[in-house]
A and B are shown apart, each in its own frame.
Chain A
Amino acid sequence: MALKGKKRCVAVVDQKTCVACGCCVKVCPCQAIRIVQGVVAQIAGEACVGCGRCAQECPASVIELREVQA
C-alpha cells in the first residue's frame, strides 16, 4: 500500500450502540470526548491523540481507532 503523507490514529465511536455512560470521558488525557445531550459520546478528532485509553475503558467496546490522513 502506498503511503500518501502522514497518517495518525483517532478514536471513533459507534453512535448506535454507545450507552452514554461517560467512562471514556473520564480516562481521556486530552479532554477530547464529551457526552452530547445524554445520548452519545462524541470525540473531537483534532484533540484526540489516538492513545486508545477510551477504547480500552468503554464497557460496551464501541470505540475503534481509525487511521486518518494527518
Chain B
Amino acid sequence: MKKHWYDYLWIASLLYLLLGFFNILFAWLGLLCFFIPLVFSVARGSKGYCNRYCGRGQLFGLLGGGFGLSRRKNVPQWMKSHYFRYGFLAFFLIMFFLMLWNTYLVFAGAQDLKQTVTLLWSFRLPWNWAYQGTLFHPGVAQFAFGFYSIMLTSTILGLITMLLFKPRSWCVYCPMGTMTQLICKARRGNRA
C-alpha cells in the first residue's frame, strides 16, 4: 500500500518524547495531540485524527507489529467494555484538571515549581536537568512538567498493553480516542 506523509507521524511522536528529556518546555507541543483530534470530531464529526494522523498509534503499531514486540493476544473483555473505557476517560480528565489546578497554583504564586515528572500518577521522578529556568513564568514550566507526565504515562501504559495484547491495544482505551468517539456519537445523535 502506498505510504503518505502522514504515515510517518510516528517520528514526530518519538521525537516529542525525546525532546522532553532535554527541555521540558517542548511538552507544550503535546497540546497538538489534544486539540487536533477534538477539532476533527467537533467540527467534522470524524475520528480523522485516529484514523490517519495519530503518531502515537502508529508508533505502537510499528513497535508491536513491525518489530514484533507484541504477543498479539486479544485484549480482555473488560478492557473494551464501556464501563472501563468511559471510566478511564473520566479518571484521565480528573487527573488532567488536577494538573491544571497545580499549574494555576504555581501561576498564582501559592505553590513552588516542582521539577518532577510523575509516572502513572504516583511515581515522582526528578527531572530538573530538563529545565534551566527561562524567560517565562514558572507556571509555564509547571504545565510542561504536568503535561509531559501525562504523555509519558500514557506511553508507558500503551507500551505495556502493546506487549501483552495487540500492538495498538492502547487505542481501545485511549482517552482521546474514547472522547472523540463520544463526541462523534453525540453529533450523529443530534443530526439523526
Contacts and interface: CB of A to CB of B under 8 A. Distances in A.
Interface in B169-192: 169-172, 177-178, 180-181, 183-185, 187-188
B50 to A, nearest CB: 5
A59 B168 contact: yes
A20 interface: yes
Given A23-B168, A61-B74, A37 B51 contact: no
B114 to A, nearest CB: 35
A19 B46 contact: no
A38 B187 CA distance: 10
22 contacts: A17-B80, A20-B51, A20-B177, A21-B50, A21-B172, A22-B51, A23-B171, A35-B46, A37-B184, A38-B45, A38-B180, A38-B183, A38-B184, A39-B181, A39-B184, A57-B168, A59-B167, A59-B168, A59-B169, A60-B80, A61-B74, A61-B75
B61 interface: yes
Given A61-B75, A61-B166, A25 B51 contact: yes
A18 to B, nearest CB: 9
A62 interface: yes
Nearest to B64: A59
B50 A20 contact: yes
Given A59-B166, A60-B172, 12 more contacts: A19-B80, A20-B50, A21-B51, A29-B1, A35-B51, A39-B184, A56-B72, A57-B168, A59-B165, A59-B167, A59-B170, A61-B74
A22 B52 contact: yes
Interface residues of B, number: 34
Contacts of B40: 38
A59 B80 CA distance: 10
Contact of A62 (B80, B178, B187): B80
Interface in B135-192: 165-172, 177-178, 180-181, 183-185, 187-188
